[in-house]
Amino acid sequence: METTIIETTAPVAEEIVLIAEDAVAEVEATETVETTRDYWTPEGLKESAPIMGKGMLGIFIVMGIVIACVSILNNASGPKKKKEKKQ
């Protein structure tokens, strides 16, 4: 009867060991990345500055288009005419 229990639990135990090994490997990989990563480097700034500049330029272009559209709509609608009250 003992061999039956061992035979049925062995695959489960092997699966648990594999899951534990994967978890340990993932933690070790994460620790390696965290210890080797610099949060700010001049090289990183050189790589990110053009991307940031394009993004800021895009924001200013969109703002300019919105301002132009609002200005055109204000001018197209014309000033509101006030009715003079007759006394």
Report how far residue 34's alpha carbon sits from residue 26's, in angstroms, rounded to the nearest whole number. 12
The answer to whether residue 81 sits within a structural domain is: no
Residue 37, SS3 per DSSP: coil
pLDDT at 79 over 70: yes
Q: What is the mean pLDDT of residues 60-84?
A: 88
Domain limits for position 20: 1-37
Percent of the chain at pLDDT exceeding 70: 70
The answer to whether residue 1 sits within a structural domain is: yes
Q: What is the mean pLDDT of residues 51-77?
A: 96
The answer to whether residue 82 sits within a structural domain is: no
Q: What is the mean pLDDT of residues 67-80?
A: 89
Q: What is the mean pLDDT of residues 35-52?
A: 81
The answer to whether residue 24 sits within a structural domain is: yes
Q: Which residue has the tokens 């990563």?
A: 37
- How many structural domains compose the chain? 2
The answer to whether residue 27 sits within a structural domain is: yes
Same domain, 1 and 33: yes
The answer to whether residue 84 sits within a structural domain is: no
Same domain, 33 and 53: no
